[in-house]
Chains A and B, each alone.
Chain A
């Protein structure tokens, strides 16, 4: 079995402690939460660090889902399983439950965290697409205090985020608007696989018409992709299959996938279209139900 190269293990007991440790240990230190992205890479020796700072003890501090009338805040140490099982979260943003059902597998979901997933910044990663869809903001803390960045800014490139040395993602914040709902669609080759393509959609209704809509795609380009054109096309229109077909076409046009073992670029482009339509339909139906 593959094993990681040597490193020093440190355990942080609080966010402040973790930041102090990072400040002391410098750029050779890395935070580890669930470890399901980081440790396999370290075992394969695609990543080596001198120090690992275990932040699992921060679950008490950063494992939370707080829903208020105008905002949802989710701590970075919230585990996939908690996101899946939270009825409160599913009531506001059903997209989380849709996505969590198809992220990795139940045993991995026991350990993996929201923060770990976002910081991995894999272009095929589902929670990044969910957060993009929902226009989430990321709270990044360092010794100098907090800053808040949007998803576009958070994802600098594939496997690269705005979280610099000595900083950590502590929570995400998602605005809640009335009349909205959301959905997530994913095609995978097999349960537990990364997405061939995923599409998240959120729709806010104003009476019989769509007030606003957002779509976030995974695995169709270097980063998860938000598509502003779709909001423009849908705003003010009543939901219909024709309208969503138009949105699907926009999604396909803004997708830039590459051919790999998961599928051809042509197929992925097709999926961007198809899954966007499906996600919008489901989100609209949910919004109308509510």
Chain B
């Protein structure tokens, strides 16, 4: 028998390769063994003794007055425990709740319904089938009101006022917002050789995570403590809001986010259903489960986008971009429920100047109410950077079209140069670091760009339609510095706590919450890199407000830039303390110790060393510690980022279009991302892949549309189409690494880059393919019908 030397340097799951990232690199995920066994525990898997089931009655009308509700038949159903209407909630002062944008939203409609699918009443019954049955027994007397559906007409003087619940409200205006310098921008437009304008619509889409939203509320009868298992991306923020809404003392609320089946921003807001379940458990004294069905998810929870943009770009005749300006009409639905930092009602749309060094920029925006579901910021949008990047990458292509310039060449000519970083954009965003040209060149090399253009030219000769689309994006993620950013007054910082147990194993507690991003792995890796304990020996605890420090949660690609920084810094704090204890153990001064990823040794004498495990035992053990040092080896911090981080990437998409049927086939997609320092390249690639598929969805098929009566036409997965494996290519990914100067490990975040960057690449490719038809722009979703109409010159905006 041959003795096998255990390779202690490589933790379980480690895959050796030539990548040299921070931490343990491409290691397999710690969460997977439970998921592949079907042992993940999602919200609907929570089962409590005596648990009841809640179902919500929703409005069939987009806009209607409620004259009365008769719930008596439902109440008489033998398995029904309670039927609650808006009037019942109003008695408790709970009929309305604040949204994350300082508006209010009805928990249950009292006066009237304002969108199809709005919550009107709920039933609590012994089982989910009976709860659903009882909904049929509730009679609601509606009186229809003309709905406001066409966003372009929402501010017309004769339109019905949707938000007559707001004092003195006489129109459907939601807010105005402006950024940049109008005068300076007009000046560069006046002097420009070329000005190109285009109307660009980013239609309403939906994140549609595979798991819908839901919760289990359990109010303990004796001490009144509420435990809420909930599909939330932000458990701590939700806890505070529940305290503010329901008047429950915050220490009597425990929010647990169990495994979450995808979020993408859909699980950031607080939905009426959660509040209903809490009320039900309070009233009935039993645990209550609410899980929405797919239709409820699609028609009532946080949608995304819905921006109607007029984009304009000014340039010299040789292709130097001078300025960009835009006018935006934003559809916010019936309530302003966007989840954005308070000072940023349009999110980070202000980065619409993209990756280009220009002289001036200006944006003017008007947001309106319509009789549609609330929401607006979701679907991996990085707080509206999806819309901003789509606008700039589309309008730059329109400019290339007018100048008859290669779109890659035009972009290369206008990039912000490496020596300009940190770069302050003309709308006031300070890009932390970047080196754009190598990323662009790498993507072009991977694609074989010149060869593709040659192939395209040949195919055009033969009447075949092939398109090559480019997008180069810069993101702004990791919200955010507390001086600028808060949600409902809560600063966007993140706590992190690290404890090293006496035997040298560790537990790290996060304020953020994975919905598939792999936090249990990557956060262990970050801590591992800093403290030298293998990731397998580090337990990651998250998603439970009773057991984790406060922080604002996982969305806007903020986990790595904010919470990841917190994890690195808390580990360094523990390491500093460990160094002091080590100095006592080795009887040398702190300055005479050297760190060697897992152990301290005396400078010049590596044989004199103590490991973190030795130090941890000492810290918890008998005997004196150096003066002023408390026992134990743990620390907690709250990290407030100095700035956002600015990941970027170059995407190239190749499409073929059947000239007879106008069907688009995405043949290739090349994505080169730069998210700064990489923690786990396998997980990064996975995140990019998912976002690219989102892009195919939005560009080619996804849309939440409404008919003129306000009926939602995308209320099931039969109608709201999400790409399958048949519509997407095998992704070709690459990367460059430009670390963030202010992040402790130089990481920038990757969660949303591909969702942000891919739609314009695909649309640009389709438009490029249609050049023989003189098409300069075509709005998403580019279904076969819409592509064919673009070829006929008859294509209309989708909304």
Q: Do chains A and B touch in the complex (CB under 8 A)?
A: yes
Minimum C-beta distance from A172 to chain B (A): 26
A208 CB within 8 Å of chain B: no
**B660 lies within 8 A of A274 (CB):** yes
**B721 lies within 8 A of A190 (CB):** yes
Tell me the complex Cα distance, A2–B783, Å. 29
**A1 lies within 8 A of B719 (CB):** no
**B788 lies within 8 A of A189 (CB):** no
Minimum C-beta distance from A3 to chain B (A): 5
B661 CB within 8 Å of chain A: yes
- Residues of A near B133 (CB, < 8 A) are 5-6
With beta carbons under 8 angstroms apart, the residue of B716, B718, B721, B785 that contacts A267 is B785
**A263 lies within 8 A of B785 (CB):** yes
**A189 lies within 8 A of B661 (CB):** no
The stretch that binds A, out of B312-320, B384-392, B523-531, B723-731, is B723-731
Minimum C-beta distance from B722 to chain A (A): 8
Tell me the complex Cα distance, A34–B726, Å. 24
- Using A3-B128, A266-B794 as known contacts, say yes or no to A191 and B661 having CB atoms under 8 A apart: no
- Residues of B near A251 (CB, < 8 A) are none
Minimum C-beta distance from B443 to chain A (A): 27
Interface residues of A in 46-84 (CB under 8 A from B): none
- Residues of A near B705 (CB, < 8 A) are 261
**B713 lies within 8 A of A267 (CB):** no
**A3 lies within 8 A of B794 (CB):** no
- Using A1-B291, A187-B661, A275-B661 as known contacts, say yes or no to A264 and B789 having CB atoms under 8 A apart: yes
B131, closest chain A residue (CB): A3
A48, closest chain B residue (CB): B136
Tell me the complex Cα distance, A40–B294, Å. 12
A45 CB within 8 Å of chain B: yes
Tell me the complex Cα distance, A6–B295, Å. 21
- Residues of B near A267 (CB, < 8 A) are 662, 784-785, 788-789
Interface string of A84-105 (1 = CB under 8 A from B): 0000000000000000000001
**B701 lies within 8 A of A189 (CB):** yes
Interface residues of A in 132-161 (CB under 8 A from B): none
**B661 lies within 8 A of A190 (CB):** no
**A1 lies within 8 A of B293 (CB):** yes
Minimum C-beta distance from A259 to chain B (A): 9
- Residues of B near A187 (CB, < 8 A) are 661, 663, 784
**B136 lies within 8 A of A45 (CB):** yes
With beta carbons under 8 angstroms apart, the residue of A105, A190, A278 that contacts B723 is A190
A270, closest chain B residue (CB): B788
Tell me the complex Cα distance, A192–B701, Å. 13
**B719 lies within 8 A of A261 (CB):** yes
Minimum C-beta distance from A220 to chain B (A): 13
Count residues of B near A (Cβ-Cβ below 8 Å): 32
Minimum C-beta distance from A211 to chain B (A): 27
**A278 lies within 8 A of B660 (CB):** yes
Interface string of B132-143 (1 = CB under 8 A from A): 110010000000
- Using A1-B291, A3-B128, A5-B133 as known contacts, say yes or no to A191 and B660 having CB atoms under 8 A apart: no
With beta carbons under 8 angstroms apart, the residue of A5, A191, A196, A261 that contacts B726 is A191
Minimum C-beta distance from A152 to chain B (A): 28
- Residues of A near B773 (CB, < 8 A) are none
- Residues of B near A266 (CB, < 8 A) are 789, 792, 794
Interface string of A1-20 (1 = CB under 8 A from B): 11101100000000000000
Interface string of B782-796 (1 = CB under 8 A from A): 011100110010100
Interface string of B695-728 (1 = CB under 8 A from A): 0000001000100000001101011010110110
Interface string of B648-665 (1 = CB under 8 A from A): 000000000000111100
- Using A262-B785, A263-B785, A267-B784 as known contacts, say yes or no to A190 and B724 having CB atoms under 8 A apart: yes
- Using A6-B133, A190-B724, A191-B727 as known contacts, say yes or no to A274 and B785 having CB atoms under 8 A apart: no
A265, closest chain B residue (CB): B785
**B129 lies within 8 A of A3 (CB):** yes
- Residues of A near B724 (CB, < 8 A) are 105, 190-192
- Residues of A near B132 (CB, < 8 A) are 2-3
Interface residues of A in 198-234 (CB under 8 A from B): none
B783, closest chain A residue (CB): A189
With beta carbons under 8 angstroms apart, the residue of A40, A189, A270 that contacts B721 is A189
**B783 lies within 8 A of A263 (CB):** yes
Interface string of B762-799 (1 = CB under 8 A from A): 00000000000000000000011100110010100000
- Residues of A near B713 (CB, < 8 A) are 261
Interface residues of A in 85-131 (CB under 8 A from B): 105
A271 CB within 8 Å of chain B: yes
Tell me the complex Cα distance, A196–B785, Å. 9
**B785 lies within 8 A of A193 (CB):** no
Tell me the complex Cα distance, A6–B127, Å. 13
Interface residues of A in 148-196 (CB under 8 A from B): 187, 189-193, 196
Tell me the complex Cα distance, A44–B136, Å. 12
- Residues of B near A261 (CB, < 8 A) are 705, 713-714, 719
**A189 lies within 8 A of B719 (CB):** no
Minimum C-beta distance from B661 to chain A (A): 5
Minimum C-beta distance from A252 to chain B (A): 13
- Residues of A near B788 (CB, < 8 A) are 267, 270
Minimum C-beta distance from A175 to chain B (A): 31
- Residues of A near B718 (CB, < 8 A) are 40
Interface string of B636-678 (1 = CB under 8 A from A): 0000000000000000000000001111000000000000000
- Residues of B near A191 (CB, < 8 A) are 724, 726-727
Tell me the complex Cα distance, A213–B619, Å. 89
With beta carbons under 8 angstroms apart, the residue of B293, B663, B721, B792 that contacts A2 is B293
Tell me the complex Cα distance, A193–B663, Å. 14
- Residues of B near A263 (CB, < 8 A) are 783-785
Tell me the complex Cα distance, A196–B136, Å. 34
Minimum C-beta distance from A96 to chain B (A): 21
With beta carbons under 8 angstroms apart, the residue of B128, B295, B714, B784 that contacts A189 is B784
A43, closest chain B residue (CB): B293
B796, closest chain A residue (CB): A264
With beta carbons under 8 angstroms apart, the residue of A5, A45, A192, A196 that contacts B784 is A196
Interface residues of B in 705-761 (CB under 8 A from A): 705, 713-714, 716, 718-719, 721, 723-724, 726-727
- Using A190-B701, A191-B727, A263-B783 as known contacts, say yes or no to A274 and B721 having CB atoms under 8 A apart: no
B713, closest chain A residue (CB): A261
- Residues of B near A192 (CB, < 8 A) are 724
**A264 lies within 8 A of B785 (CB):** yes
- Residues of A near B662 (CB, < 8 A) are 267
Tell me the complex Cα distance, A40–B663, Å. 29
- Residues of B near A275 (CB, < 8 A) are 661
Minimum C-beta distance from B721 to chain A (A): 5
Minimum C-beta distance from B266 to chain A (A): 17
- Residues of A near B295 (CB, < 8 A) are 2, 44
Tell me the complex Cα distance, A151–B326, Å. 56
With beta carbons under 8 angstroms apart, the residue of A6, A44, A45, A271 that contacts B661 is A271
Minimum C-beta distance from B149 to chain A (A): 16
**B661 lies within 8 A of A274 (CB):** yes
- Residues of B near A40 (CB, < 8 A) are 718
Minimum C-beta distance from A286 to chain B (A): 19
**A193 lies within 8 A of B661 (CB):** no
Interface string of B526-549 (1 = CB under 8 A from A): 000000000000000000000000
Tell me the complex Cα distance, A191–B722, Å. 10
B135, closest chain A residue (CB): A45
Minimum C-beta distance from B702 to chain A (A): 10
Besides the known contacts A44-B716, A262-B785, 16 further A-B residue pairs in the complex with CB atoms under 8 A apart: A1-B128, A6-B129, A45-B136, A105-B724, A189-B701, A189-B783, A189-B784, A190-B701, A191-B724, A266-B789, A267-B784, A267-B785, A267-B788, A271-B661, A274-B660, A275-B661
Q: Which residues of A contact B (CB under 8 A)?
A: 1-3, 5-6, 40, 44-45, 105, 187, 189-193, 196, 261-264, 266-268, 270-271, 274-275, 278
8 sampled A-B residue pairs with Cβ under 8 A: A6-B133, A189-B721, A190-B701, A190-B721, A190-B723, A264-B785, A266-B789, A268-B785
5 A-B pairs with the lowest CB-CB distances in the bound complex, closest first: A263-B785, A191-B726, A267-B785, A274-B660, A190-B721
